[in-house]
Amino acid sequence: MFQYIITKLLYGFLTLFGVVTVVFLLFNVLPGDPARMLMGQREDSEQLEIIRKKYGFDQSIGTQYLYYINDLSPVSFHSGDETSYTSLASNKYNYAKLFTIANTTIVLKFPYLRESFQKNGKSVWSVIQETLPNTVVLALFSITIAILFGVVLGILSALYKNTFFDRIIAVISTLGMSLPSFFSAILFAWFFGFVLHDFTGLEMTGSLYEVDDFGEGIYIQWKNLILPAIVLGIRPLAVVVQLMRNSLLETLNQDYIRTAKAKGLSYFKVIKNHALKNSLNPVITAISGWFASMLAGAVFIEYIFNWNGLGKEIVNALDTLDLPIIMGSVLIISSLFIMINILVDIMYVWLDPRVKLN
């Protein structure tokens, strides 16, 4: 198991390295001068040269790429020249010195995602820290709704195969999979947040944290989570229902299930102890993919409900060409995808003994 995990981590690292390379090249071949984006309306030739020197924009693409890798690497190399981009004289790195060779200091540090172009030099990591928790909360509630209702409805649909109940569930799940997210978000916001506002008490828009009426403090507004969580959970719920139904029906036709029935076990025990656990593999795969996508930022949902999450932040960054925010968000999202996939691969072994580590 240990060797298996190490191998998966190595593959994950190589994948992440490829993502870093693609992201850097993609956003550095775009037309435009990053220094001018950073200066905004305060354009001045002398200031532009200072900015280019400070952020390494005056170097070749190859050198800038090495700077970027050095910023992201936990173990990095830094020059003793205070005018160099890699100098430790600035406060941008959170590090611990390891040792110094000649004029180069090797440090152990937290990956540096650089600074926003549009938020007065605010670090990208600070922006992600403010928005990612809101997206995580929204994703957790949405995927919980999808798992609880999806698995239960999928089991019932399999047990009552070809009945009226099964057909109703099939129609609803098909509608849930085909309904565009932006349309269902607008529909739910209008109907439950506007038409039925007096009855539900829900708002059309709102985030997890809100400022009180006097502007003196911030409090958590849990009711703002209800509508976006339900809307975000509709499509994965529909997928889980169909996968759970089909997987359970396939498992119930296996020889070991017939053997369990022949031993006199009750139908409930056959489902609970034998069929259910071995039917969850495709469901786990779907759930992991959907959950990772939700963590990537439910762009339409967050934007329509004005939910202050990572997806909404990415849209704003794209609108203002805030490249460090976009690049940092993509790297965080990629890391989450990789970690979730590794955890799912490990869960397969526990869920189904037929899955071998090799």
Mean pLDDT of 84-104: 80
**Residue 235, CB half-sphere, CA atoms under 13 Å: how many?**
20
Say if CB 110 and CB 124 are below 8 A apart: no
User: Which residues, 6+ apart, have CB-to-CB distance to 24 below 8 Å?
Assistant: 64, 65, 68, 327
Residue 230's pLDDT is: 92
Mean pLDDT of 27-33: 70
6 has pLDDT over 80: yes
- The answer to whether the predicted template modeling score (pTM) of the entire model surpasses 0.75 is yes
Strands of the chain, DSSP E: 75-79, 95-101, 104-109, 209-211, 218-220
Phi, psi of 81 (to 5 degrees): -75, 115
85 has pLDDT over 70: yes
Residue 168's pLDDT is: 93
Question: How far is it, in rounded angstroms, from Cα 13 to Cα 31?
Answer: 30
**Residue 249, CB half-sphere, CA atoms under 13 Å: how many?**
15
Q: Which domains does the chain have, with CATH numbers?
A: 2-109 (no CATH), 124-351 (1.10.3720.10)
C-beta pairs of 203-212 under 8 Å, 24+ apart in sequence? 204/305, 205/304, 205/305, 205/306, 206/305, 206/306, 206/307, 207/134, 207/306, 207/307, 207/308, 207/309, 208/134, 208/137, 208/138, 208/307, 208/308, 209/134, 209/308
Say if CB 51 and CB 39 are below 8 A apart: yes
356 has pLDDT over 80: no
